[in-house]
Chain A
Amino acid sequence: MKKELINLTINGAPYELEVEPNLILNTLLRDRLGLTGTKISCGEGECGACTILVDGKPMLSCSMLAVAANGKNITTIEGLAKDGELHIIQKKFIEKGAIQCGYCSPGMILAVKALLDENPNPTSADVKKAIGGNLCRCTGYVKIVDAALAAAKA
C-alpha cells in the first residue's frame, strides 16, 4: 500500500509523517507517537475514551483515518499541561475526585475543554450535554460535572 505524506499540528508542534492510508488516527497517536494519554475502548464511537480535539472540536480518534488528519490541528490530553503545570480542568478533576480508574478522564477532560472554550459559563445541564458522548464506569458523573463547573469558575 502506497504511503501518504501528511502534515499536521499535534499539541502545538508541527509533524510531517508518512502514513499508510489504513492507519487509524488513534493508532498513530498511541503506537507511533507514544501519546498514550488518548485511550481506546469501544472502538465504535460509543464511549468517548478516544476523544481528541480536531481544530478545537471534540472528535473520535478511533473512527478517523490518520491520512484524513492532514492539515488539521490536533490537541490530545498531553497538550493541556503548560510548563509542567496541569490545566485548570485537570486540577479540578483531581481536586473533586472526578478520577478513579482514569480511563475515561482524558476524553472527559477534552470534552469539557471543548465546552469551556465555547461557553465559559456553563450550567450543570450544559456540562451534562457536553459529556453526553463520554462514558465513565467508576465514579458516576456527579463529581465530573462538579469538576467541570469548578474549572469554569476558577
Chain B
Amino acid sequence: MFRTLKPFEYLEPKTLEEATKALSKRGAQAKVYAAGVDLVPRMRKRVIEPKCIVNIQNVKELDDVIAAKGKGVRIGSLASKRSIELSSLIKEKYFVLHEAISSIVSVQVKSQGTAVGNLCVATPASDVATALYVLDAKLNVFGPSGERQIPIDEFYLGVGKTVLEPAEIITEILLPAPAANTGGAFAKLVRTAEDIAKVNAAASITLDKGVCKDVRISLGSVAPTVVRAKKAEAILRGKKVDQKLIEQAAKAAAEEVAPITDLRSTAAYRKETSGVLVKRVLTKALERAQA
C-alpha cells in the first residue's frame, strides 16, 4: 500500500459533453471519479495507474436525486448508496434494493460511494447489481454518439468489464413500476459482516390470483457477472407456488450456476449455498407478495 498516488492530469468538466469529449480523447488512460471509494484504493495499490482523472461531481446534468419518473423511480447517478437505502420511496416500492444495500455494513462506504460507481466496478459480488437484476432496472447512458438505455442484465461482460464505452457515462438508474402483488427479497453469505459476498441472491415474485405471473431470480459471486437463474424461474412461472415448488426451483438454481473456488469460498460450497439462498429469498419474496 502506497501513501501517495502517481501523478495524473486532473479534469473537472462542467457538462456531460465536456466530460465525454475529455474521456474520448484519452480513452482507457482516463478514469471517471465519482466518489473515490473504489478508485483511490486501487490507485494506491497500483492496480490501476490512470493518466487522467475526470471528476464528474460538478457536471451540471448529473445529480443525486431519487424521485418518481413516469410510473417508476429514477436514481441520479451521483446518489450515494446510503441515500438510496434511506429513501422512503425505495423502501416502499423496491424493498429488495433497500435490503441489499442494508446488508452492506460500512456506513462510510455507503455514504461516500455511489450505486452507479458500484455497478461500474463490475464485481460479480455486487449486492446492488443483484437487487437491480430482479427489479429489471435500466441504465440511461450519455456518450459521444448521444444517449442510450442499457438493461441491467445486458450491462456486464465479465469481471471488471461492462458494455460501457470508455467515454460513456451513466446518468441515471431507472426502476420500472412494480406490478401489483409483487414481493422481493435479498440475502447473502459472507465470511465476516464487512466482507463482500461469498454468494448473494435476490428474488422478485408477482402473483395473480395466487399464481406466479412473473418471477426473477438473480445470483452474485457465482459467475464472472451477476446472473439470472432462468431455469429456476421457469419452474415457478405460471404455477401456484408452494414450498415444494420453491425447493425444486432452488435445486435448479444450484444446478445451473458454475461458480469458482477463490480465497472466499469453494466452488462446491457456493453451488450448494446458491440453492439455500434461492430458497430463502423465494420464500420471503412469496410471503411479501402475499402480504
Instruction: Please tell me if the beta carbons of B108 and A44 are within 8 angstroms of each other in the complex.
Output: no
**In the bound complex, what is the Cα–Cα distance between A2 and B9 (angstroms)?**
8
Q: In this assembly, does B3 line the interface, its C-beta being within 8 Å of a C-beta of chain A? A: yes
Instruction: Please tell me if the beta carbons of A22 and B4 are within 8 angstroms of each other in the complex.
Output: yes
* Interface flags, A59-77, vs B, CB<8A=1, else 0: 1101111011000000000
Interface 9-mer from A10-18, A84-92, A128-136, A145-153: A128-136
- Given A20-B7, A45-B37, A46-B194, A63:B107 Cβ within 8 A: no
Q: In this assembly, does B13 line the interface, its C-beta being within 8 Å of a C-beta of chain A? A: no
Q: Which of A17-40 contact B (CB under 8 A)?
A: 20-24, 27, 40
Tell me the smallest distance from the CB of B48 to a CB of chain A, in Å: 13
Instruction: Please tell me if the beta carbons of B8 and A22 are within 8 angstroms of each other in the complex.
Output: yes
**In the bound complex, what is the Cα–Cα distance between A62 and B107 (angstroms)?**
15
For B57, give the chain A residue with the smallest CB separation. Answer: A68
The bracket for how many chain A residues form the interface is 35 or more
**In the bound complex, what is the Cα–Cα distance between A42 and B45 (angstroms)?**
11
Note all chain B residues with C-beta closer than 8 A to A132.
105-107, 193-194
The bracket for how many chain B residues form the interface is 20 to 34
Instruction: Please tell me if the beta carbons of A68 and B7 are within 8 angstroms of each other in the complex.
Output: no
Note all chain B residues with C-beta closer than 8 A to A106.
none
Among B10, B35, B39, B107, contact of A58 (Cβ-Cβ < 8 Å): B107
Note all chain B residues with C-beta closer than 8 A to A63.
36-37, 39-41, 112
Summed over the interface, the residue pairs from A and B with CB atoms below 8 Å come to a total of: 103
**In the bound complex, what is the Cα–Cα distance between A27 and B57 (angstroms)?**
21
Instruction: Please tell me if the beta carbons of A51 and B108 are within 8 angstroms of each other in the complex.
Output: yes
**In the bound complex, what is the Cα–Cα distance between A72 and B33 (angstroms)?**
16
Instruction: Please tell me if the beta carbons of B107 and A133 are within 8 angstroms of each other in the complex.
Output: yes
Instruction: Please tell me if the beta carbons of A59 and B7 are within 8 angstroms of each other in the complex.
Output: no
- Given A22-B6, A24-B3, A65:B40 Cβ within 8 A: yes
Q: Which of B96-130 contact A (CB under 8 A)?
A: 105-109, 111-112
Instruction: Please tell me if the beta carbons of A65 and B53 are within 8 angstroms of each other in the complex.
Output: yes
For B35, give the chain A residue with the smallest CB separation. Answer: A64
Interface centre among A24, A45, A51, A63 (most CB of B within 10 A): A63
Q: 10 closest pairs, A vs B, by CB?
A: A133-B106, A132-B105, A21-B10, A44-B41, A22-B5, A59-B112, A57-B111, A63-B40, A1-B7, A133-B108
Seen from chain B, the residues whose Cβ lies within 8 Å of a Cβ on chain A are 1, 3-10, 33, 35-37, 39-41, 44-45, 53, 55, 57, 80, 82, 105-109, 111-112, 193-194
A21-B7, A67-B10, A111-B107 given; name 7 further pairs at CB < 8 Å: A43-B1, A57-B80, A58-B107, A58-B111, A60-B37, A64-B35, A133-B109
